[in-house]
């Protein structure tokens, strides 16, 4: 280099050369046994950078914390986003200088100072594996995976450890997430304790392969949210359609403009004898995205947009019905209803009062046990549409059965409570059958069909779909006369809501009625039958006709109650005298119409009255 004629240019060129050499040293993606990564809080520490510059490994301090950690973060974006932490439970404190290197035993390790012999953190590769190799290197790949590679004497490379097998709070594209059935290795994503502390928090995401493979968020050991089972295209419940709609509506214009690039993701489930895992890969041209579990227990899919910010494209759980089993067992959650929770057809609250209290935490029970199990004319299946299928850990997968064959298989077992199609591709193939309680069901627009096993009565007029509510001595159903007129029909029930205190079983010894309406055989002798409700209904009709209340009735005659008063007039052929003046003055005697008074105690002759048409139908009690 000729420097005599232009000293300034010479110095500048030299500094540029030194700078390039320094950058080349800092931009390495691999270290050997003789190299290391050093820490420095002022930013002069060394690091690993993947070959295309996608990811970077080095020392960092999260948020407001002064503790130091070794981590991997996304390199080409302005927002510092850590995706993996090595020593999340053993941070470096007290401003000590950390060293990240390959130790004497061949494991990757973090030391305090270069002369320390006891690692603060290390990988767990066995000595037997390491002694068979001649050289070991650590490399940061462009996928964000840190791998420990061993070369044997024949120069064959073997990955003996990788960070993708030990995720922290983030799922990266291409990362296998699931269970190795042979080795027992389970990939579990665990949230940070807080934004300033990468210590494992109380929420985790993991695959559960029992029954049909599903994805769970746990709060400690308790299910918090669930997706699945796999329907041949996706885990049921993913992605969040409402978030996609929000983006398309243009509320986030930057993301909405690139909606097609955001959703370019392939999700694959591999489930065989060796392993069960999920993997997501962006398609060509898609924006970079990650899935992160927040300290609050919310899983978010984040997309990095050219507007230099992370855009949220889906989160779970998001609404009331997303959370696991919010309505208990044998119930279904619906965000579009006021109550949100309701029993499945053929089920009712365990305790009648819970129906009125709308107790969301109470377990549900089958309204009537299937005593005639296996007899086709005594039971059947109701198809529930657009639902999230129940927790499939108590299910069995029949990969080669069609729906009709699955129905027959379900009917063979009294424990089978329902079934659904397994794979929605190519018109549907295979099925899943559930055995036992049905948990964590919800209504949503992209849901599936579920075939629920019920008593035959649930398939007819007295099905849960026609139920309007519950009254004294039984539930009330919607009905219709032959002429099309709609009516409400009360079905008398032994396990009625007219029961007191703790006596809520069908063999109750005491029925609570209302004074003035109880039948004489019950009031005097405690005898209760299906005719008791007929007596009470008759009292109400007489009150409507007479305009007087039975309870607290008073008349100048010797009659002690309304029933005795009416009976005496009927016996003396003076029945029309009991008719309320509003009725008798407004209608001819031969075309008399019954009307219920708004003012029950009033008998004023000057009152303007309106008559409502009433149809009286004779019913046979059951």
* Structural domain count, the chain: 5
Q: What is the pLDDT of residue 134?
A: 65
Span 463-489, average pLDDT: 74
Q: Which DSSP string do the residues of 201-266 spell out, in sequence order? A: EEEEEEEE-SSS-EEEEEETTEEEEEE--B-SSSBTT-S-HHHHHHHHTTSSHHHHHTHHHHT-EE
Read off the pLDDT band of 588 (50, 70, 90): low
Q: Bridge partners of 348? A: 365
Residue 1 lies in a domain: no
Supply the pTM of this predicted model.
Answer: 0.69
User: Quick count: other Cβ atoms within 10 Å of Cβ 288?
Assistant: 15
Report pLDDT digits (tens) over 87-117: 999 999 987 789 999 998 899 999 998 777 8
Q: What is the 8-class DSSP label of residue 494?
A: T
- 196 versus 484: which is more confidently predicted? 196
What's 140's domain CATH number? 2.90.10.10
Domain limits for position 215:
167-318
**Statement to judge: residues 561 and 610 lie in one domain:** yes
Q: How many residues does the chain have?
A: 622
Residue 81 lies in a domain: yes
443-473 residues labelled b (16+ CB within 10 A) or e (exposed)? bbeebbbbbbbbbebbbeebbbebbeebebb
**Statement to judge: residues 84 and 191 lie in one domain:** no
- 485's CB contacts (< 8 A; 6+ apart) are 615
**Statement to judge: residues 197 and 307 lie in one domain:** yes
First to last CA, the chain: 110
Sheet holding 441-443, edge to edge: 341-343, 331-333, 441-443, 379-388, 448-455, 416-423, 429-435, 395-398
CA angle 200, 310, 228 (to 5 degrees): 60
**Please, what is the average pLDDT of the chain?**
78
Does residue 487 come out as left (phi exceeding 0), alpha (psi in the -120 to 50 range) or beta?
beta
Residue 2 lies in a domain: no
User: Quick count: other Cβ atoms within 10 Å of Cβ 338?
Assistant: 6
| CA–CA dist 419, 427 (Å, integer) | 17
**Statement to judge: residues 539 and 573 lie in one domain:** yes
**Statement to judge: residues 187 and 253 lie in one domain:** yes
CB distance 72 to 102 below 8 Å = no
Distance of CA 591 to the CA centre of its chain: 60
For residue 613, pLDDT over 50 is answered with no
| CA–CA dist 566, 413 (Å, integer) | 58
**Statement to judge: residues 468 and 437 lie in one domain:** no
**Statement to judge: residues 415 and 532 lie in one domain:** no
**Statement to judge: residues 309 and 173 lie in one domain:** yes
Span 465-475, average pLDDT: 68
Structure tokens at 469: 């509510």
Residue 363 lies in a domain: yes
Report pLDDT digits (tens) over 61-81: 999 999 999 999 999 898 999
Residue 426 lies in a domain: yes
Report pLDDT digits (tens) over 131-180: 655 689 999 999 999 999 998 766 678 899 999 999 999 999 999 999 99
């Amino acid at each position: 280099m000729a420097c005599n004629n232009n000293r300034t240019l010479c110095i500048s060129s030299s500094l540029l050369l030194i700078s390039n050499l320094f950058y080349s040293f800092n931009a390495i993606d691999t270290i050997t046994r003789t190299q290391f990564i050093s820490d420095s809080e002022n930013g002069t520490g060394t690091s690993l950078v993947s070959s295309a510059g996608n990811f970077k490994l080095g020392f960092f301090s999260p948020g407001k914390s002064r503790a130091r950690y070794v981590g991997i973060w996304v390199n080409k974006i302005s927002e510092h986003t850590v995706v993996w932490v090595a020593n999340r439970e053993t941070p470096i404190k007290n401003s000590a200088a950390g060293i990240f290197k390959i130790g004497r035993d061949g494991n990757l390790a973090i030391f305090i100072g270069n002369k320390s012999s006891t690692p603060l953190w290390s990988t767990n590769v066995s000595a037997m594996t390491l002694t068979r190799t001649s050289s070991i290197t650590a490399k940061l790949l462009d996928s964000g995976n840190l791998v420990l590679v061993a070369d044997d004497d024949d120069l064959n490379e073997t990955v003996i450890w990788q960070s993708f097998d030990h995720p922290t709070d983030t799922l990266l594209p291409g990362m296998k997430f699931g269970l190795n059935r042979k080795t027992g290795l389970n990939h579990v994503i665990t949230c940070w304790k807080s934004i300033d502390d990468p210590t494992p928090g109380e929420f985790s995401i993991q695959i559960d392969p029992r029954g049909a493979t599903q994805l769970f968020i746990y709060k400690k050991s308790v299910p918090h949210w669930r997706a699945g089972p796999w329907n041949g295209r996706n885990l049921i419940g993913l992605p969040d359609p409402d978030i996609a709609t929000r983006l398309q509506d243009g509320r986030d214009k930057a993301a909405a403009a690139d909606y097609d690039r955001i959703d370019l993701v392939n999700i694959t489930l591999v489930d065989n004898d060796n392993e069960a895992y999920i993997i997501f890969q962006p398609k060509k041209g898609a924006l970079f995205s990650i899935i992160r579990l927040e300290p609050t227990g919310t899983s978010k899919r984040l997309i990095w947009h050219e507007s230099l910010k992370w855009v949220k494209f889906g989160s779970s759980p998001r609404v009331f019905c997303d959370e696991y089993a919010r309505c208990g067992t044998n119930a279904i959650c619906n965000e579009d209803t006021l109550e949100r929770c309701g029993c499945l057809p053929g089920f009712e609250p365990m305790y009648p009062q819970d129906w009125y209290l709308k107790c969301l935490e109470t377990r549900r029970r089958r309204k009537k046990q299937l005593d005639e199990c296996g007899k086709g004319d005594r039971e059947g299946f109701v198809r529930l549409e657009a639902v999230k299928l129940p927790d499939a850990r108590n299910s069995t997968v029949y990969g080669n059965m069609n729906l009709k064959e699955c129905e027959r298989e379900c009917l063979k077992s009294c424990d089978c409570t329902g079934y659904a199609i397994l794979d929605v591709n190519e018109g549907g193939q295979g099925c899943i059958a559930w055995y036992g309680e049905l948990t964590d069901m919800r209504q949503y627009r992209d849901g599936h069909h579920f075939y629920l096993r019920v008593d035959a009565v649930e398939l007819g007029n007295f099905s849960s779909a026609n139920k309007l509510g519950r009254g004294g001595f039984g539930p009330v159903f919607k009905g219709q006369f032959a002429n099309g007129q709609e009516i409400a029909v009360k079905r008398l029930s032994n396990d009625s809501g007219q029961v007191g205190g703790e006596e809520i079983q069908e063999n109750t010894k005491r029925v609570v009625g209302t004074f003035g309406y109880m039948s004489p055989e019950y009031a005097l002798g405690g005898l209760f039958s299906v005719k008791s409700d007929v007596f009470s209904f008759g009292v109400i009709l007489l009150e409507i006709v007479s305009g007087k209340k039975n309870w607290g009735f008073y008349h100048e005659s010797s009659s002690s109650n309304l029933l005795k008063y009416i009976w005496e007039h009927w016996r003396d052929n003076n029945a029309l005298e009991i008719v309320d003046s509003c009725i008798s003055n407004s209608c001819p005697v031969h075309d008399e119409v019954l009307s219920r008074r708004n003012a029950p105690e009033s008998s004023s002759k000057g009152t303007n009255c309106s008559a409502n048409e009433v149809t009286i139908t004779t019913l046979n009690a059951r």
